[in-house]
């Protein structure tokens, strides 16, 4: 059955198209560029991968700590759009400023700021899902967001790739080519955000108090107390913490891992472009499958697939194997993210979506912090990058066990959503 997106849904999807350009840049060109800066600074391949992992970990940890505060404050009437705008601005300024850094440590610091802004904006963006659509359309709309984000981000990425790879032919230096790429990405990001600003309406909220900031902290306390009582939500968050760990770690460190293995940079970039292209139809397929099969079954399939990818990555040594992994990741990446987002939206109160997505962000970003840190530490201690990557598989195993348990606890809530939709 074909489902046509409404104007509000379509404009919400467009933000995914915009911010995904930054995501793709982080996953592809930026680690390779940082590798060049690191080599110029005298860092080894192991140190390069470790420091890149530590920077990604620091950014996600900061956002994880800020997430509940920002999310809770954003649930207050009239606050969500302004705070969303602030985090977006930080991300955009950081994105452009990375092009000015010429030393590896300065670059990492600016990258840290840019990623904090980007990640912070996603807390509010994800929580907007309940405002722009209905419960029975959430799986479809969430999947459309990731799908069009994957394919849409390829447009600025291809332009940036041509400029970076052809910098010598067009008579500009590599640093200049990177600066132009950062500016192009920032412009694409902001242009795709404008439609959302024009149509977004905050439908589910709590009324503004005399001291909204202080009230947000009180509500955080109440939410943490409630989450201990709401075992079904807590168990999903715990499961999400583990299985999304591997997903985000693979996204954050795939190119860095390939570069550290000494694989061809151009081949790595093209392989990850294939990931985006493959992810587009596969994400839409998962959205359609969600109309026929339970979302928890599809999420389980995705976790198992990622477990296989993590094991495969341990033995990766050639460019062809990296390409194969890129295709496998593309097949399941969007599905697991989109279905997890919509599944969580169904089991939480709509008027508290911001604060609950703030908690989800703690689990998601906190997990990414753990994953990238584990990879970095194990790689440094053993001197073997593959062993560090292999640790991700253990977290997928824990994640799938906890998720299946959370499904049993949330069965009544999900069935109620289905009944309401009918």
Question: Helix, strand or coil for residue 307?
Answer: helix
Q: Give the per-residue pLDDT at 179.
A: 92
CB 192, CB 18: distance < 8 Å: yes
Q: Per-residue pLDDT averaged across 330-350, rounded? A: 86
Distance CA 84, CA 380 (A): 37
Q: Per-residue pLDDT averaged across 186-211, rounded? A: 86
- Answer whether residue 89 shows pLDDT above 50: yes
Q: Give the per-residue pLDDT at 405.
A: 92
CB 147, CB 283: distance < 8 Å: yes
Distance CA 378, CA 386 (A): 9
* Structural tokens at position 323: 């390409």
Q: Per-residue pLDDT averaged across 321-336, rounded? A: 88
CB 417, CB 294: distance < 8 Å: no
Confidence of residue 6 (pLDDT cuts 50, 70, 90): very high
Per-residue burial over 169-182, b if 16 or more Cβ lie within 10 Å, else e, is: eeebeebebbbbbb
Q: Per-residue pLDDT averaged across 314-339, rounded? A: 87
Closest CA to 216 of 205, 230, 232: 205
Q: Per-residue pLDDT averaged across 373-394, rounded? A: 80
Q: Per-residue pLDDT averaged across 75-90, rounded? A: 87
- Answer whether residue 132 shows pLDDT above 70: yes
Closest CA to 375 of 231, 224, 251: 251
Q: Give the per-residue pLDDT at 191.
A: 96
What does each C-alpha distance from 47 to 28, 40, 123, 352, 380 come to in angstroms? 19, 13, 31, 42, 7
The phi, psi pair for 383, rounded to 5°, reads: 75, 15
Q: Give the per-residue pLDDT at 212.
A: 56
Q: Which helix (H) or strand (E) holds 45?
A: helix 45-74
CB 239, CB 406: distance < 8 Å: yes
In this predicted model, what pLDDT tens digit does every residue of 234-255 receive, in sequence order?
889 889 988 988 887 877 667 6
Distance CA 53, CA 244 (A): 16
Q: Give the per-residue pLDDT at 1.
A: 45
DSSP 102: -
> Burial level of 16, CB count in 10 A (0-12/13-18/19+)?
buried
Could you identify the residue written with the tokens 């139809």? 281
Say what percent of the chain tops pLDDT 90.
Answer: 26
DSSP 422: -
Considering only 30-44, 151-165, 206-220, 408-422, which range has the smallest mean pLDDT? 206-220
Q: Kindly report the number of other CB atoms within 10 A of residue 150's CB atom.
A: 27
CB 322, CB 260: distance < 8 Å: no
Q: Per-residue pLDDT averaged across 290-307, rounded? A: 92
Confidence of residue 143 (pLDDT cuts 50, 70, 90): confident
Q: Give the per-residue pLDDT at 106.
A: 92
- Answer whether residue 27 shows pLDDT above 80: no
Q: Per-residue pLDDT averaged across 199-225, rounded? A: 69
CB 337, CB 247: distance < 8 Å: yes
* Structural tokens at position 41: 């600074």
* Structural tokens at position 250: 């693979």
Q: Per-residue pLDDT averaged across 209-227, rounded? A: 62
- Answer whether residue 287 shows pLDDT above 80: yes
């Amino acid at each position: 059955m074909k489902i046509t997106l409404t104007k509000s849904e379509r404009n919400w999807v467009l933000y995914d198209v915009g911010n995904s350009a930054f995501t793709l840049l982080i996953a592809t060109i930026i680690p390779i560029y940082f590798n060049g800066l690191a080599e110029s600074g005298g860092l080894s391949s192991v140190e390069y991968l470790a420091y890149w992992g530590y920077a990604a970990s620091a950014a996600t940890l900061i956002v994880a700590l800020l997430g509940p505060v920002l999310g809770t404050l954003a649930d207050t009437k009239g606050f969500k759009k302004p705070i969303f705008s602030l985090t977006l601005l930080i991300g955009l300024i950081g994105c452009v400023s990375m092009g000015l850094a010429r030393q590896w440590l300065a670059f990492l610091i600016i990258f840290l700021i840019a990623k904090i802004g980007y990640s912070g904006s996603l807390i509010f963006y994800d929580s907007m899902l309940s405002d722009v659509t209905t419960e029975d359309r959430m799986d479809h709309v969430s999947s459309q967001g990731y799908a069009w984000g994957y394919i849409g981000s390829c447009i600025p990425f291809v332009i940036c790739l041509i400029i970076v790879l052809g910098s010598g032919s067009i008579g500009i230096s590599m640093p200049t080519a990177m600066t132009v790429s950062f500016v192009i990405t920032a412009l694409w990001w902001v242009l795709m955000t404008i439609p959302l600003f024009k149509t977004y309406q905050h439908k589910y909220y709590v009324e503004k108090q005399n001291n909204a900031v202080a009230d947000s902290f009180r509500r955080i306390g109440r939410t943490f107390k409630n989450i201990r009582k709401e075992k079904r939500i807590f168990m999903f968050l715990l499961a999400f913490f583990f299985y999304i760990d591997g997903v985000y770690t693979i996204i954050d460190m795939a190119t860095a891992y390939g570069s550290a293995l000494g694989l061809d940079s151009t081949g790595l970039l093209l392989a990850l472009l294939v990931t985006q292209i493959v992810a587009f139809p596969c994400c839409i397929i998962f959205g359609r499958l969600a109309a026929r099969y339970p979302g928890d079954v599809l999420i389980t399939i995705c976790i198992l697939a990622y477990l296989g990818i993590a094991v495969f990555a341990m033995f990766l040594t050639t460019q062809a194997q990296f390409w194969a992994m890129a295709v496998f990741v593309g097949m399941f990446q969007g599905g697991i993210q989109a279905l997890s987002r919509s599944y969580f939206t169904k089991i939480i109160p709509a008027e508290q979506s911001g604060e609950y997505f703030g908690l989800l962000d703690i689990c998601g970003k906190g997990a990414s912090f753990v994953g990238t840190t584990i990879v970095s530490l194990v790689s440094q201690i053993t001197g073997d990058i593959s062993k560090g990557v292999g640790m991700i598989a253990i977290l997928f195993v824990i994640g799938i066990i906890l998720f299946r348990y959370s499904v049993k606890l949330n069965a009544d809530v999900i069935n109620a959503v289905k009944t309401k939709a009918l």
